[in-house]
């Protein structure tokens, strides 16, 4: 649910509470009760007129009544003649509430109730009436949704009503939507002017109407419709490209997050950590654990798991460095094998201790839903957050490497260990901190990933090859390279996917990287200078 909508609901609730004058409502009660009673008892033909009449009373409760009617839940108590709404119709005794006051009347045997019968044609009629009622709500978003629901379902009488609404409507979006709804109706009637209104619309219903017109009998109308369609196609293409770009950036930012920690441990320190993927997994499981500890507060848990995930992964990373990697200095292939062993152990540990099955991590409300840019393009919020998070993490790392004492020492130790040590830098301490930093960032990646993929023991495995590819593609030892490589690989993948399929796209990207490395073995941004030589 978008924030606008939530806000609008609160406003609406407030309005309802203050409400129109209670007195008028009281006066209306008797007429309303009569109408409803008639509605339940009337035959099919009469019902339509009664429905209209009810909707025209302008009563705040009309919507509730119509909805109850639509669901067949409107009933009359046979003894008293009271109109009630059935709340729960399971079993022998039904729970009912007074239709007018809304008071819960408890349960009543279903044999004492006369319920209304509704058929599908009637339901469609009610839907139309409901939409028109919705067009008058205070919330512009609600009006917009109502207008959108009407697209393609407008008949001559409704069109007149809509014209009247259009004259009163002030919100530009709602006006455009209403105009579209009317135009679709007019187009169906063969009105060529309606095409001008529709030509800018990205709405699928409008496009369908134009399509019908383009294939219709009237040649002039068909030609105009085809032209309008072409311009819509053009617009759609741009929107589609924007969407692909968005998905690409989102996938890319995930890759950047997964790879950026590796860019530090592998790129800067030269340590191959095949257990990097499992450090990501630990971060994701930390999020899950946090949410287990704070049930009912997924948002708070998620925010807290950012530092927690960092710490857990960083400590695990430091433990790995101290216990294994430090003994394998200068033997990269052995380091690769040993850390691979660690990754197997960590995976199996999670399988045995927690579960081999995927765990669900809840997405907090403020991260779910999407922002709608226009009819054809909407951006999912969780991915937007991940893109933002990736950029923040990247900026943070950049700052640490460039502007802090630690960053300076790390670069010094990487470029010339012996020289750095003779200048008084404690190389071992720098090793620990750097590895901890890279591992911690992997944990952060895990926290982010928990929001968009399944959290399971294989989570890390799925990202390790991709992450290495990103680092190699971007140029080892270069954080900018990792950013550019990650984002571009993600985008390329998304561009290839529609016409090659997900698996083939992935294969093509891998082959592409293999070929790329032929041309530039040191990646996009190779390190320059004497430090680069081995």
Partner 1 sequence: MTSSNMWLLRPLQERSTQIFLGLLTAAVVVVTILHLATPEGSALHVSAYTVTLLGKYLCYALLAVAVDLVWGYLGILSLGHGAFFALGGYAMGMYLMRQIGDRGVYGDPILPDFMVFLNWQELPWYWHGFDMAWFAFAMVLLVPGALAFVFGFLAFRSRVTGVYLSIITQALTFALMLAFFRNEMGFGGNNGLTDFKDILGFDLRSDGTRLGLFIATGIALAVGYVVCRGIVTSKLGRVSVACRDAEARTRFLGYRVERVQLFVFVVSAMLAGVAGALYVPQVGIINPSEFSPLFSIEIVVWVALGGRATLYGAVIGAVLVNYAKTVFTGVMPDAWLFALGALFVLVTVFLPKGIAGLLQKRRKATDDDGANAQEVAA
Q: How far is the CB of 510 from partner 1 (least distance, A)?
A: 4
**Which DSSP string do the residues of 229-272 spell out, in sequence order?**
HHHHHHHHHHHHHHHHHHHHHHHHHHHHHHHHHHIIIIIIT---
Q: Which residues of 362-396 are buried (b: 16+ CB within 10 A; e: fewer)?
A: bbbeebebeeeeebbbebbbbbbbbbebbeebbee
CA distances from residue 376 to 195, 235, 236, 239 in whole angstroms, order as listed: 19, 9, 7, 7
Give the nearer residue to partner 1 in terms of CB position, either 287 or 335. Answer: 335
Question: Of residues 76, 260, 272, 290, which one binds partner 1 by CB under 8 A?
Answer: 272
Specify the residue, 49 or 341, whose C-beta has the smaller distance to partner 1: 341
In the complex, minimum distance from the CB of residue 41 to partner 1, in angstroms, rounded to a whole number: 59
Q: Choose which of 340, 358, 433, 500 interacts with partner 1 (CB under 8 A).
A: 340
- Does 392 interact with partner 1 (rule: CB under 8 A)? no
Shortest Cβ 264–partner 1 spacing (Å) = 16
| Closer by beta carbon to partner 1, 255 or else 362 | 255
90, 519, 528, 530: which one binds partner 1 (CB under 8 A): 519
Number of residues that bind partner 1 (CB under 8 A): 40
**Least gap, CB of 528 to partner 1 (angstroms):** 18
DSSP string of 332-376, one letter each residue: HHHHHHHHHHHHHHHHHHHHHHT-SSPBP-PPPGGGSSEEEEETT
- Which residue, 98, 105, 393, is CA-closest to 257? 393
Helix axes 62-70, 44-56, angle to 10 degrees: 160
Nearer residue to partner 1 within complex by CB, 340 or 480 = 340
Measuring CA to CA, how many Å separate 44 from each of 41, 49, 99, 191, 496?
10, 10, 21, 34, 56
Q: Of 389, 415, 388, which Cα lies nearest the Cα of 401? A: 415
Q: Provide the minimum distance between the beta carbon of 277 and partner 1 in the complex, in angstroms, as a whole number.
A: 11
Spatial strand order of the sheet with 74-77 comes to 104-109, 93-98, 83-88, 74-77, 113-115
Which CB sits closer to partner 1, 172 or 333? Answer: 333
Minimum CB distance to partner 1, residue 521 (Å):
5
d(CA 259, CA 172): 45
**Residue closest to 359 by CA, chosen among 291, 278, 266, 264:** 291
Query: Which positions from 480 to 509 touch partner 1 by CB under 8 A, shown as an x/- string?
Result: -----------------------xx-xx--
Residues 6+ apart with CB under 8 A from 90: none
- CA separation, residue 246 to residues 156, 372, 448, 486 (Å): 41, 13, 17, 14
Name 63's Cβ contacts closer than 8 Å, sequence gap at least 6: 130, 133, 134
Binder to partner 1 among 334, 379, 452, 495 (CB under 8 A)?
334
Q: Of 36, 144, 140, 142, whose CA–CA distance to 81 is shortest?
A: 36
**Of 120 and 518, which has the nearer Cβ to partner 1?**
518
Binders in 307-326 for partner 1, by CB under 8 A: 324
Quick one: 514 or 531, whose CB is closer to partner 1? Answer: 514
Question: In the complex, what is the shortest distance from the CB of residue 273 to partner 1, in angstroms, rounded to a whole number?
Answer: 11
Q: Is 75 left (phi over 0), alpha (psi -120 to 50) or beta?
A: beta
Q: Does 521 bind partner 1 (CB under 8 A)?
A: yes
Do strands 113-115 and 83-88 pair parallel, antiparallel, or not at all (unpaired)?
unpaired
SS3 percent helix, strand, coil of the chain, rounded to 5, is 70, 5, 25
Find out whether 383 and 452 touch, Cβ atoms under 8 Å. Answer: yes
Tokens of 354: 């927690």
| Interface with partner 1 in residues 429-488 (CB under 8 A) | 465, 468-469, 472
Of 515, 528, 529, 530, which one interacts with partner 1 (CB under 8 A)?
Answer: 515
Q: Do 439 and 275 contact (CB within 8 A), yes or no?
A: no
Tell the smallest beta-carbon distance from residue 476 to partner 1 (Å): 8
> Which residue in the set 16, 327, 426, 532 belongs to the binding site for partner 1 (CB under 8 A)?
327
Longest Cα pair distance anywhere in the chain, in angstroms? 100
Q: Is 290 in the site for partner 1 (CB under 8 A)?
A: no
Tokens of 12: 């609406």
Which listed residue (182, 255, 342, 449) binds partner 1 by CB under 8 A?
342
Distance CA 60, CA 28 (A): 11
Applying CB under 8 A, does 332 fall inside the site for partner 1? yes
Q: Does 132 bind partner 1 (CB under 8 A)?
A: no
DSSP 111: G
Q: Which of 95, 510, 526, 527 binds partner 1 (CB under 8 A)?
A: 510
In the bound complex, what is the minimum distance in angstroms from residue 509's beta carbon to partner 1?
A: 9
Min dist CB 517 to partner 1, Å, is 6
Site string for partner 1, 344-383 (x = CB under 8 A): xx-xxx-xx-------------------------------
Task: Please choose, out of 32-40, 67-75, 194-202, 341-349, the segment that lies near partner 1 by the rule CB under 8 A.
Answer: 341-349
Pick 101 or 352: Cβ nearer partner 1:
352
Cβ-based nearer residue to partner 1, 297 or 458: 458
Options 16, 293, 514, 532; binder of partner 1; rule CB under 8 A: 514
Q: Is 524 in the site for partner 1 (CB under 8 A)?
A: no
Site membership for partner 1, residue 517 (CB under 8 A):
yes
> Where do contacts with partner 1 occur on this chain (CB under 8 A)?
272, 324, 327-328, 331-338, 340-345, 347-349, 351-352, 465, 468-469, 472, 503-504, 506-507, 510-511, 513-515, 517-519, 521
């Amino acid at each position: 649910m978008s924030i606008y909508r939530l806000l609008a609901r609160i406003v609406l609730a407030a309005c309802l509470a203050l409400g129109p004058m209670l007195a008028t409502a009281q006066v209306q009660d008797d007429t309303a009760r009569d109408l409803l009673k008639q509605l339940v008892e009337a035959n099919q033909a009469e019902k339509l007129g009664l429905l209209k009449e009810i909707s025209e009373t302008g009563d705040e409760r009309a919507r509730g009544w119509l909805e109850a009617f639509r669901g067949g839940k409107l009933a009359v108590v046979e003894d008293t003649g009271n109109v009630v709404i059935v709340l729960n119709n399971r079993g022998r005794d039904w729970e009912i509430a007074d239709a007018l006051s809304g008071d819960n009347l408890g349960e009543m045997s279903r044999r004492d109730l006369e319920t209304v019968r509704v058929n599908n044609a009637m339901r469609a009629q009610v839907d139309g009436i409901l939409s028109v009622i919705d067009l008058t709500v205070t919330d512009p978003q609600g009006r917009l949704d109502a207008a959108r629901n009407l697209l393609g379902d407008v008949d001559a009488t409704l069109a007149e009503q809509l014209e009247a609404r259009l004259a009163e409507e002030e919100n530009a979006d709602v006006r455009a939507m209403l105009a579209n709804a009317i135009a679709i109706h007019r187009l169906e009637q063969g009105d060529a002017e309606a095409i001008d209104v529709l030509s800018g619309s990205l709405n699928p219903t409008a496009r369908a109407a134009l399509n019908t017109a383009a294939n219709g009998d009237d040649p002039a109308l068909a030609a105009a419709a085809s032209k309008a369609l072409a311009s819509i196609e053009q617009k759609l293409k741009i929107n589609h490209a924007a969407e692909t770009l968005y998905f690409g950036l989102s996938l890319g930012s995930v890759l950047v997050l997964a790879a950026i920690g590796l860019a530090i441990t592998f790129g800067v320190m030269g340590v191959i950590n095949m257990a990097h993927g499992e450090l990501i997994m630990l971060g994701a499981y930390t999020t899950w654990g946090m949410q287990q500890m704070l049930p009912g507060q997924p948002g708070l848990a998620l925010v807290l798991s950012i530092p927690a995930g960092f710490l857990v992964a960083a400590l695990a990373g430091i433990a790995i460095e101290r216990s294994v990697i430090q003994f394998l200095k200068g033997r990269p292939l052995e380091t690769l094998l040993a850390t691979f062993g660690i990754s197997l152990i960590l995976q199996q540990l999670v399988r045995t201790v927690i579960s081999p099955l995927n765990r669900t991590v809840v997405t907090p409300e403020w991260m779910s839903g999407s922002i709608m840019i226009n009819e054809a393009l909407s951006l999912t919020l969780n991915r937007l957050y991940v893109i933002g998070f990736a950029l923040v993490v990247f900026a943070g790392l950049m700052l640490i490497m460039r502007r802090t004492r630690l960053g300076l020492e790390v670069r010094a130790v990487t470029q010339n260990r012996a020289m750095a040590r003779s200048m008084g830098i404690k190389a071992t301490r720098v090793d620990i901190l750097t590895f901890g930093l890279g591992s911690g960032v992997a944990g952060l990646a895990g926290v982010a990933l928990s929001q968009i993929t399944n959290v399971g023991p294989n989570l890390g495995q799925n990202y390790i090859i991709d992450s290495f590819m990103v680092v190699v593609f971007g140029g080892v030892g270069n954080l900018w390279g990792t950013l550019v490589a990650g984002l571009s690989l993600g985008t390329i993948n998304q561009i290839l996917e529609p016409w090659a399929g997900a698996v083939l796209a992935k294969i093509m990207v891998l082959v592409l990287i293999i070929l790329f490395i032929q041309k530039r073995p040191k990646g996009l941004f190779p390190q320059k200078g004497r430090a680069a030589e081995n």
